[in-house]
């Protein structure tokens, strides 16, 4: 899995807005640090922010106003899990429909972060089913489709494509989404994939104080 082009914005607006209910804007002590190029949360603002976080989702509305965008490259089976988080999450993906046949199909096209060839099913010739049989068949179908433009080959290619196929999506979400995901997916059976997401989230600005604050 891969996370690229991460951008975070609107700390200033979110932390100003969190003070609207009590009109305590004079206590706002956060500011942008031009040296680290990050928005530094002041002691007063952090104290209030963490009290609101402890109060529950109905109180920490400011978390929904801290926005994140990132390009995530992950297998289809992981995106099926990720797609359960619909509210406040928007994504735009690369197209399997249009681009699947444009480049050679190799092992690098699939998620192999914790891949264990030693437990893969083998045939009577002791060949690895995934690497020695399935991938060559997919590549042959791709080439046949390019040579003939016969959509039947493309249809079978789509039909046989494993869920470990890597797709890239540009995802936009907010700190509240990420906090919910992190707390709900710790210890999930897809350990490598969700640990990768959690490790990425931990590196976001002020993540320890907000997203991972217990």
Q: Give the C-alpha distances (Å, rounded to integers) separating 92 from 9, 69, 178, 214.
A: 19, 11, 18, 32
Same domain, 45 and 102: no
Same domain, 8 and 85: yes
Q: Convert 136-188 into a string of H (helix), E (strand) and C (coil).
A: HHHHHHHHHHHHHCCHHHHHHHHHHCCCCEEEEEEEEEEHHHHHHHHHHHCCC
Residue 201's nearest CA partner among 189, 211, 214, 213 is 211
Q: Classify residue 117 by its DSSP letter.
A: G
Same domain, 108 and 172: no
Q: Is there a domain that residue 207 lies in?
A: no
Angle at 119 between CA 123 and CA 134, to 5 degrees: 45
Q: Is there a domain that residue 25 lies in?
A: yes
Q: Is there a domain that residue 211 lies in?
A: no
Same domain, 131 and 27: no
Indicate the SS3 state at residue 98: helix
Each residue's pLDDT, cut to its tens digit, for the chain (214 residues) gives 999 999 999 999 999 999 999 999 999 999 999 988 889 999 999 999 999 999 998 999 999 999 999 999 999 999 999 998 877 788 888 867 667 888 999 999 999 888 887 777 676 666 788 888 899 999 999 999 999 999 999 999 999 999 999 999 999 999 999 999 999 888 788 999 999 999 999 999 999 999 999 8
pTM above 0.85, yes or no: yes
Domain that holds residue 139: 95-164
Residue 157's nearest CA partner among 67, 70, 96 is 96
């Amino acid at each position: 899995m891969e996370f690229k082009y991460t951008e975070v914005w609107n700390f200033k607006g979110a932390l100003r807005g969190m003070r609207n209910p009590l009109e305590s804007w004079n206590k706002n002590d956060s500011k942008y640090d031009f040296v680290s190029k990050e928005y530094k949360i002041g002691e007063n603002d952090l104290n209030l922010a963490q009290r609101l976080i402890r109060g529950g989702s109905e109180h920490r509305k400011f978390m929904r106003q801290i926005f994140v965008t990132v390009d995530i490259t992950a297998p289809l089976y992981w995106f099926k899990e990720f797609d359960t988080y619909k509210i406040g999450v928007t994504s735009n993906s690369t197209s399997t429909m249009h681009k699947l046949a444009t480049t050679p199909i190799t092992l690098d096209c699939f998620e192999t972060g914790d891949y264990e060839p030693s437990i893969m099913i083998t045939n009577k010739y002791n060949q690895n089913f995934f690497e020695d049989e399935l991938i060559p068949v997919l590549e042959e179908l791709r080439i046949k489709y390019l040579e003939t433009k016969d959509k039947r080959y493309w249809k079978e290619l789509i039909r046989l494509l494993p869920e470990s196929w890597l797709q890239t999506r540009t995802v936009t979400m907010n700190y509240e989404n990420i906090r919910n995901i992190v707390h709900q997916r710790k210890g999930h059976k897809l350990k490598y994939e969700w640990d990768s997401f959690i490790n990425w989230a931990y590196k976001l600005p002020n993540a320890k104080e907000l997203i991972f604050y217990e």
